[in-house]
Amino acid sequence: MLILIAGPYRSGTGDDPALMAENLKRLEAPAYRLFQAGHVPMIGEWVALPVWHSGGGQVVGDTLYEEIFHPVAGRLLALCDAVLRLPGESKGADNDVRIALERGIPVYHRLEDVPGCAAVAAA
């Protein structure tokens, strides 16, 4: 499955680049286990950041940022088979979950609940 990993990225950072980078690392943490289980992990920021940079994005939260970041997740959800919602407050991740549920896309709140991931953890 193509699985969108959703969780805090900008939330709670005050737009501090170092804190946002830490949040991205937390989003990336389950990626290898998902891959080992046969899935393709996806994070919206992996797509949105280069699009924003190539469009001339300069300041987090600028008009271009707002034009790209949340819509990227919506477009990815049209392609994804599931969502893994990581802990932490995030309006964007909550919106991803809402969209997924509206579209009938499964939402997992624990990595171990994603098909095949429990077996990977046990190996």
pLDDT digits (tens, 9 = 90+) for 44-97: 999 999 999 999 999 999 999 999 998 999 999 999 999 999 999 999 999 999
pLDDT number for residue 121: 63
Exposed, middle or buried, 3 (CB in 10 Å: 0-12/13-18/19+)? buried
Structure confidence by residue, pLDDT tens digits, 96-115: 999 999 999 999 999 999 99
Estimate the share of the chain in helix, then strand, then coil, as percent rounded to the nearest 5: 55, 10, 35
Q: Which is higher by pLDDT, 100 or 122?
A: 100
**Residue 35: pLDDT above 80?**
yes
CATH, domain 2-122, list 3.40.50.10400, 3.30.1360.120, 3.40.228.10, 3.30.70.360: 3.40.50.10400
CB 44 within 8 A of CB 4: yes
pLDDT number for residue 119: 80
Distances (CA, A) of 12 to 7, 53, 120: 12, 22, 32
